[in-house]
């Protein structure tokens, strides 16, 4: 009886291809996990940096022009001096729409702003507390009407 010739040994083939498939799946999964992690990191980092920088401008700068209102504002700043919130500027800020604020802050993230006194009583707020997949909220200590106050500012999406 003539034996038919095979191209490969069946056992070797099964073993080698199983191992190869397992390793390839592991590597592919790891690759995609890393890619996701990197993307997440880059997005969170951008959000974080932007939140800190915008909060700095809000509480340290008078804005541009310094007597800005809702019709002529270029850069939103709430301060009359370093970390002293000006009443009129705060009122002007509240009068802006969310979209206007986002445009002036050059961001597509949603905004959360909450000014409270030291005991937690709300003075002014804009937007909702973050409810998305990614958010950064920071606390800044300021003066408002000669009293200590806390400004919470956040960006989220």
Name the site residues for another protein (rule: CB under 8 A).
3, 5-9, 11-13, 15-16, 19-20, 23-24, 26-27, 30-31, 34-35, 37-38, 41-42, 45, 48-49, 52-53, 55, 59-60, 62, 64-67, 74, 81-84, 118, 136, 138-143, 146, 148
Q: Please tell me what DSSP assigns to residue 84.
A: E
CB of 56 to another protein, least distance (A): 8
Q: Are 104 and 76 in contact (CB under 8 A)?
A: yes
Q: For another protein, which is the closer residue by CB, 87 or 118?
A: 118
Number of CB atoms found within 10 A of residue 45's CB: 11
Lookup: tokens for 155: 């960006």
Q: For another protein, which is the closer residue by CB, 56 or 98?
A: 56
CB of 35 to another protein, least distance (A): 7
Peptide bond connecting 82 to the previous residue in cis, omega within 30 degrees of 0: no
Q: For another protein, which is the closer residue by CB, 27 or 132?
A: 27
With CA atoms as reference, report the closest residue to 97 among 70, 76, 67: 70
Q: For another protein, which is the closer residue by CB, 21 or 98?
A: 21
- Backbone phi, then psi, for 131, in 5-degree steps? -140, 25
Lookup: tokens for 44: 């969170």
CB of 102 to another protein, least distance (A): 20
């Amino acid at each position: 009886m003539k034996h038919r010739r095979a191209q490969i040994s069946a056992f070797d083939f099964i073993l080698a291809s199983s191992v190869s498939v397992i390793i390839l799946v592991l590597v592919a999964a790891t690759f995609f996990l890393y890619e996701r992690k990197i993307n997440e990191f880059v997005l969170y980092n951008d959000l974080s940096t932007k939140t800190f920088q915008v909060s700095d401008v809000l509480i340290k700068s008078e804005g541009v022009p310094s007597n800005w209102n809702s019709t002529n504002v270029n850069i939103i700043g709430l301060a009359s001096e370093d970390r002293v919130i000006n009443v009129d500027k705060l009122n002007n800020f509240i009068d802006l729409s969310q979209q206007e604020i986002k445009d002036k802050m050059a961001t597509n993230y949603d905004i959360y702003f909450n000014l409270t006194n030291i005991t937690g009583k709300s003075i002014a707020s804009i937007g909702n507390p973050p409810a998305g997949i990614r958010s950064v909220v920071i606390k800044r200590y300021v003066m408002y009407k000669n009293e200590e106050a806390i400004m919470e500012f956040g960006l989220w999406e």
